[in-house]
Structures are given as structure tokens and as C-alpha cells.
Amino acid sequence: MTMSPRIRKLALTLHVATSVGWLGGVAGFFALAVVGLTSADEQTVRAAYLSADLMTRFVLVPLSVAALTTGIVQSLGTTWGLFRFWWVIVKLLLTIVATALLLLHTQPIAFMARAAQTSLAAGEHADVRLQLVVTAAAAIALLLVTTVLSVFKPPGATRYGWRKQREERLVARA
Amino acid sequence: VADLPPDADADEAPGPPRWVLAFGTVAAVLVVVFVLVHLAGGGFRGHLHG
């Protein structure tokens, strides 16, 4: 089903806004995670993890789900399709991986926020602190790659996409 | 930014382009490194139920 130009632009706007918002949100989360790992001031560290937890629950998770959903809608509603071009498939897989990474890490983020509610000594839970920094950096890298794929749209149709295009061309000629 | 896909001009169904193969190779290497690091015990060990 192909969307009308106006609906397609609306869906594209939603997809770009949620995807870029997600990337910006993760960059903000990364800053908080770095502060949580490196700051010597306990109040600053506690504030960082409490903020990171709120940001995760109310900004990152909704934006990730929205970006994935609007991306799928955008693919299915245009002639790009979901499985016709390699860049769409790779982008879909990376978005699923980034969403899964985020959902898996809501647990350690909530754990650090619970710890931050009382006290958080220097070096306490150092492995979890480092985990959050590394994961946020990986998520930024993943989301930058998906952004590059969206803009450059590297060429390459799948076997399925090639077949569908030929079928559509034959129908158009008939 | 091209909003519409190009037409399929080739007479034969194409294989995966080179960039997809390179991408897949890098992804496979990263997965293997991740698994090896965790199997070796060097990964992150959460103590999230404390």
C-alpha cells in the first residue's frame, strides 16, 4: 500500500523527528553516564543517575519505539518497501538492535537510580557505571550509522526487491 | 536526498552489494569479540539484585 504524498511527508517527518530525537537523547544520556563514572562529587553523581533513569523511561524508550514503528510504517507505505533494498534491511536490523540494547539496559539504569536515592560512594558499582558509558557510546555509533544509511541510501536491491520492481514494470506496460 | 528508489535495470537478480558484505563481516567480528570477552569473564558482571 503506497501512501499519498502528503501522508508520506507526515510519516517521514515523524520518523525523522523521533529518530534524531532518540540520537540526541542518547548523547545526553552518554554525558550523564560519563559524569556518573568520572565525577568525584557524590551529589553530582547521584543527580546524574536519577536524571538518566528519568530520561530513559520518559524520553529514550518512547522515542526508540516510535522511531522503530514510524520507520516500519514509512517503509511499508512507500515504494522502498521493507525488504526490497539492502540499506532498509540493515537499518531495520540496527534499529532493532539499538532498541533491544536500550530495553535491556533499563534494568542497570534503574539499579543505579535506586542506589543514587540513598548514597553512592566513589567507585561503588564501578562495573555498572562503565557498562552504561560503553553501551551509550555503542548506541550513538549505531544510531549514527542508521542516520548515514537514511541520508545516503547506498544502492543495492535485494533479490525480492528486484523481482517486485520487474513485476511492477510489466504491469505498468500492460 | 532521493525519495524514490531507482528502477531495477539489471537483467539478472543482483547479489548483495559489496558494502553489505563488508558490513556483515564487521558485525560478525564484533559479535564474536563480544562473546569471547564475556566467555573469558572480562565482560560486565551486573549485580543488579543487590
pTM of the model: 0.86
Confidence of residue B50 (pLDDT cuts 50, 70, 90): very low
Whole-number average pLDDT of chain B = 75
Q: Indicate the DSSP class of residue B40.
A: T
Q: What is the mean pLDDT of residues A151-161?
A: 93
H or E stretch covering B35: helix B18-39
Whether residue B2 and residue A153 make contact (CB cut-off 8 A), yes or no, is yes
Residues A10-20: tens digit of each pLDDT = 999 999 999 99
- Interface probe for B, chosen from A12, A90, A142 (most Cβ of B below 10 Å), is A90
Q: What pLDDT score was predicted for residue A35? A: 97
Q: What pLDDT score was predicted for residue A69? A: 97
Whether residue B20 and residue A86 make contact (CB cut-off 8 A), yes or no, is yes
Whole-number average pLDDT of chain A = 94
Neighbouring residues of A96: CB distance < 8 A, sequence distance ≥ 6:
A68
Confidence of residue B14 (pLDDT cuts 50, 70, 90): confident
Cell triple for A54: 528519568
Percent of chain B at pLDDT exceeding 70: 56
Q: What pLDDT score was predicted for residue A18? A: 98
> Closest approach of chain B CAs to the CA of A141, in angstroms?
13
Secondary structure (DSSP) of chain A: -PPPHHHHHHHHHHHHHHHHHHHHHHHHHHHHHHHHHH---HHHHHHHHHHHHHHIIIIIHHHHHHHHHHHHHHHHTSTTTTTSBHHHHHHHHHHHHHHHHHHHTHHHHHHHHHHHHH---TTTTHHHHHHHHHHHHHHHHHHHHHHHHHHH----B-HHHHHHHHHHHHHHH-
Dist. CA A119–CA A107, nearest whole Å: 19
- Interface probe for A, chosen from B47, B48, B49 (most Cβ of A below 10 Å), is B48
Q: What is the mean pLDDT of residues A43-70?
A: 97
Confidence of residue A172 (pLDDT cuts 50, 70, 90): confident
Whether residue B5 and residue A157 make contact (CB cut-off 8 A), yes or no, is yes
CB A72 within 8 A of CB A146: no
Give the range with max mean pLDDT: A31-35, A78-82, A170-174, B6-10.
A31-35
**Nearest residue to B46 via CA among A122, A111, A41:** A111
Q: What is the mean pLDDT of residues A52-62?
A: 98
> Closest approach of chain A CAs to the CA of B32, in angstroms?
16
Q: What is the mean pLDDT of residues A155-165?
A: 91
Residues A97-142: tens digit of each pLDDT = 999 989 999 999 999 999 999 888 888 899 999 999 999 999 999 9
